[in-house]
Amino acid sequence: MTDPKAAVLMPLDDLLLPDDVGQKLRIVGFLIAFDTAVSIGVVAYGGTSLLVNFSLCLNEADRPRLKSLLMLIGELEPADVHPQGSVELYSATPEAIPPIPAPSRSAVLNAILMKEVDDMDMRAWEQSARLQSKHLMDRHNARMVSKG
């Protein structure tokens, strides 16, 4: 039996598109838009926003609350494999503080787990995510050096 692939902690500001497509990610952001017809929403934090397909982690009675802070686990996939949401989902939110650019149309997080985490300390979460990322990169580089 194979080990399930662990989700990488990823601050939204650190996403690199299209490089991160295919990765299993754990992200955190505020839900700023949601299209109930297709269960596609937009999460944002800092200066970045991302499309999210919620269809695998919601039932008919569930719906995430707008402006709630969500932790999501899922695979980042090309956007063309998902239904298109309403035009409003693809709009920038310049009146937000800080202003939020329109989400990229190239990728969608296909969420398999959603949890409201309104009391989370985002600075601490981002710091731990970046430390984990640095650790994984250092470990990878050490393996490459030992093989070389």
One-letter amino acid at 142 equals A
Supply the CATH number for residue 105's domain. 2.40.50.140
Res. 88 pLDDT band, cuts 50 70 90: low
Which of 47-56, 107-116, 127-136 is predicted with the least confidence, judged by mean pLDDT? Answer: 127-136
**What pLDDT sits at residue 80?**
80
Res. 110 pLDDT band, cuts 50 70 90: very high
**What pLDDT sits at residue 118?**
93
Per the document, the length of the chain is: 148
Residue 63 belongs to what domain range? 8-120
Tell whether 137 is covered by a domain.
Answer: no
Tell whether 143 is covered by a domain.
Answer: no
Q: 15-32, pLDDT tens digit by residue?
A: 888 889 999 999 999 998
Q: In this prediction, what percent of the chain has a pLDDT beyond 90? A: 39
Tell whether 3 is covered by a domain.
Answer: no
Tell me the pTM.
0.81
**What pLDDT sits at residue 27?**
96
Domain count, the chain: 1
Tell whether 148 is covered by a domain.
Answer: no
Tell whether 39 is covered by a domain.
Answer: yes
Tell whether 139 is covered by a domain.
Answer: no
Tell whether 69 is covered by a domain.
Answer: yes
Tell whether 130 is covered by a domain.
Answer: no
